[in-house]
Amino acid sequence: MENCTKAVFSGSKKTLKRSCGPPIEVLLTRTSGALQVNVTWLKEDGNNKISVRYKALGSHSWNETVETQLPNTAVVEKLTPSLVYIVQIQCVTTAECSQCPWSKNHYVPSELTTQPILVSAKYTDITQKTGCRLISITWKFPVKDLYDGYRVTVWKESGEPPQAQLTTSEPEIRLILSYSAYRLNISAYNNASVSPSATHVIPQHIGANILGDGRLNVTVHNSTAFTIHWRPDLIEKYVCYVVEWMKQGHSGWYLSFFEDAIARKTVSSISEHLEPYTRYRVTLHLRPNKNTCNMKSINNSESTYGTTEFYHTEGSPVGAPANVSFHNVTLNSAVLQWSRIPEEDLRGFLLGYIIYYTEHHYQETSTAHNITVDPGSTSFHMEALKSGTAYQVQISGFTSAGEGIRSIPSVFKTDPKVNFSIRAAIAAFVVVVCLLVFGSPVIKRVKAILWPRVPNPGHSNAVQKIESPGQLKLLEALVTLKAVEEWDTKSFQILEREAVIPLSSMLPHVRTCEDDSLETAHAWSDRDGDSAADDDDTTDTLLDTQRTHFQSSPFTFAGGYTTMEMFQQFTPQWTTEGGSNTPSIEGEPEDFTVLKSMRLDYVRQFSTSPPSDSEFTPALV
């Protein structure tokens, strides 16, 4: 049998050395440059004071150790909010915990110091659910990758509990709420901090189909009690209700109740008395849950039945319409505009406006007129006014308690009567513009009809058919003859005379047309002068001659180019034996039988004295 040794020892728990920790749970919270540490120990370790050491991420040395006086909690101050820290925790050694090892590293993210930024808020009525609306709110956080999610707190502005705490990882939220007013707080969070919250107020919605439609009425008894009435058929479906009332700019009050017998509820013993001349708004909400009428949750928990307004005591307005102005002033009318009376100055339900206007004279009085318009109006078209007259206008509002104060007098003057008409001026302007735009072509056309231009011989076919110098010389003589005829037509009374010009007497002028044009002109002038001297004695003879020979003259032409047509009648018979068109005018004048006579038809207008050579010689040259 082997040797065995037996040892006996004794002791107590206090004298035994044991190790405590590390903590099984650590909660780190950063606020305003400080870090709060809360720990949980094993049950046998009890509650111990703790010691904390920390360092910034990337640093190699630990900062001084912080010991606390309270168990299970510690506060580290003077931290930089933007830095990430590493924290280790241990218990403070005691007789019971003689050994306290450091815990593992706990990472503390940066402190969230900025609040979320609201991007949009949309409120949409739900057609399938009367009295409810869909609330869609989106936001963004300016710092990325520092948060774990968002916390949204929602509650009613009236103060009715509860406050709903919602958590989401996305920067948006959708809720189905009644038409009541709500408040939302939105903040970002991570495992060590919570950002400052962004607050958004959802205003009370006054639907057009629920305000003042008769479904909800109020009877005021005194400053501490009033009764609301609704339609009896509502009792068949709902038994849980909540009534809210508030005045402008205040959060309001509420009362939830159960009612399954009568369609009314008296609210009494109001903590804050109803004020006179103050408008209140009361709303009735319906709750589908019949087990309890208290609201269990915010989202999709009630719908709005109706809204109305009431006064405990009404008074006359203490304010008047402002910003009175006049527009579109004419001879006998003007448009009057003004601003509404502020609600705090109404002191009752506005029933309308009274417009006072009189003719404004400095030393005379005139009859005052007044017109009543609807309470929703802010303008009025004044008619049947006198032209060129000044008018003084004042406006006041009135309630069931009476008329309020009038506005400051405003003066305007209608336009005076004038002979000048704007329409006439516009019409004249249009006519002038039309003449400038379309008048030039019309004037040219009228001028062409009444005063036709003398045809240019150079445009005739005869000139273009000239093939010899002889034809050109003959053409020059005929052009000279035509010029005399045109001058006589403009200068003398209309007459006609017959002239027989032998060819032998004309050809010398034709041959010398280029070299002696001045003598040719004088020769023709003498012949015209003699004819003019004989006109006084032979007027009747010439008139008869005009009737007899004008139609029978072989040189009467239908076209405008009379001289050219005459030339064309001469030239076909001036041919040589060889068939050439060149006339023989180089030698002595020949007695051409083709020109036995030539009838000249003159159109003249007699003046007080016969024309002299100098009056028509330039026309011949």
What DSSP letter does each residue of 373-388 carry, written as one string?
Answer: E-TT--EEEE-SPPTT
Look over the chain and give the mean of its residue pLDDT values, rounded to a whole number.
Answer: 77
Same domain for 331 and 306, yes or no, is no
Q: Distance (Å, rounded) from C-alpha 108 to C-alpha 441?
A: 94
Residue 94 belongs to a domain: yes
Q: Distance (Å, rounded) from C-alpha 104 to C-alpha 583?
A: 140
Same domain for 301 and 345, yes or no, is no
Residue 498 belongs to a domain: no
Same domain for 89 and 124, yes or no, is no
Same domain for 103 and 123, yes or no, is no
Give the SS3 label for residue 53: strand
Same domain for 285 and 346, yes or no, is no
The CATH code of the domain that includes 251 is: 2.60.40.10
What's the token pair of residue 527? 């012949």
Same domain for 123 and 155, yes or no, is yes
Q: Which of 58, 91, 108 is the last residue of a domain?
A: 108
Domain hosting residue 384, numbered range: 325-414
What is the per-residue pLDDT across 535-568, written as a single tens digit (0 to 9) for each? 444 434 434 444 444 344 444 444 444 545 554 5
Q: Which of 414, 441, 471 is the last residue of a domain?
A: 414
Residue 596 belongs to a domain: no
Residue 607 belongs to a domain: no
Q: Distance (Å, rounded) from C-alpha 63 to C-alpha 303?
A: 58
What is the per-residue pLDDT across 435-455, written as a single tens digit (0 to 9) for each? 777 777 777 777 777 776 666
What is the per-residue pLDDT across 214-226, written as a single tens digit (0 to 9) for each? 789 999 999 999 9
Find the angle CA(239)-CA(241)-CA(247) to the nearest 5 degrees.
160
Same domain for 335 and 406, yes or no, is yes
Chain CA centroid to CA 424, Å: 33
Q: Distance (Å, rounded) from C-alpha 252 to C-alpha 90?
A: 52
Same domain for 95 and 163, yes or no, is no
The predicted pLDDT at position 245 comes to: 95
The distance between the two most distant Cα atoms of the chain, rounded to a whole number of Å, is 200
Residue 252 belongs to a domain: yes
Same domain for 198 and 249, yes or no, is no
Same domain for 197 and 252, yes or no, is no
What is the per-residue pLDDT across 121-177, written as a single tens digit (0 to 9) for each? 999 999 988 899 999 999 999 988 788 999 999 999 999 998 999 999 999 999 999
The predicted pLDDT at position 555 comes to: 43
**Do the Cβ atoms of 313 and 346 come closer than 8 Å?**
no
Q: Which of 108, 130, 162 is the last residue of a domain?
A: 108
The predicted pLDDT at position 138 comes to: 97
The predicted pLDDT at position 55 comes to: 93
Same domain for 102 and 121, yes or no, is no
Domain count, the chain: 4
Residue 145 belongs to a domain: yes
Residue 3 belongs to a domain: no
Same domain for 121 and 189, yes or no, is yes
Q: For the chain, percent helix, then strand, then coil, each to nearest 5?
A: 20, 30, 50
